[in-house]
Amino acid sequence: MRRPWNPDFKPKRSDRMATVLLLPQDEAALQAAIVAAWPSTRIIDGRAPWPAQTTSRPPVRDSVLDVERNAFLWDPEIHPRLPTPRFTGYARRAPQAGRVVEWRRSLCTDGVLASGMISAVVWDDMDPRMIAFISAVWRAVVEHTSNNLVRWIEGTGQEQLMRASRVGHHALAAARAGEICLGTTEEKWRLHPPSQEKARGAHW
């Protein structure tokens, strides 16, 4: 049944968000899985120069690895044209919300892999094709990452499960091998994969 027109109606929105810890190998594998599930996916460089007006030619890249930090997953068959991003001082406005999935890449500095994020806005009257696209991205994220992480609380000998964070298989293997530490954008705590050694009381 069609909803009667109401000039005061404002659609409800919800945000889907996943904190991710991904090495470049994980990012390449995740992109391949997303494109395999949704072949019309395009990668946009969110920080590259855009044309000045609403455009069907945003800065598309072949790989998420070609994007320095902020990428957008875009399906031009659903939304052929996108509004350009706008910046106001330090605050960024995102007119692409609801039209793309944002992918903020993880960064590895001094042996610490800081978390990135994959997020999307869902409106209650959104195009069903866009909802299906977002769902396909989320399935790929779940299938190609793990939430087998704990937060190691310094000085307490305790650990806390961190089910909301997703880690790539390469990143998890590197952390287990002691090649990197898994962290977040906050310096006050670190994430570590649970292990038999930790269970026996060994110190990381």
pTM for the full predicted model: 0.80
Whose tokens are 């790929």? That residue is 140
Question: b or e along 48-79 (b: 16 or more beta carbons within 10 Å of the residue's beta carbon)?
Answer: eebeeeeeeebbeeeebeebeebbbbbbbebb
Distance CA 95, CA 12 (A): 16
Distance CA 146, CA 155 (A): 26
Count of residues in the chain: 204
pLDDT, average across residues 188-199: 58
Give the pLDDT score at 170: 95
Give the pLDDT score at 79: 92
Backbone CA torsion sign across 183, 175, 150, 33: positive
pLDDT tens figures, 88-107: 443 344 556 788 999 999 99
pLDDT tens figures, 16-69: 888 999 999 999 999 999 999 999 999 999 888 887 666 778 899 999 999 999
**What is the C-alpha end-to-end distance of the chain, expressed in Å?**
59
**C-alpha pair distances (Å), 186 with each of 164, 179, 204:** 15, 20, 19
pLDDT surpasses 70 at 137: yes
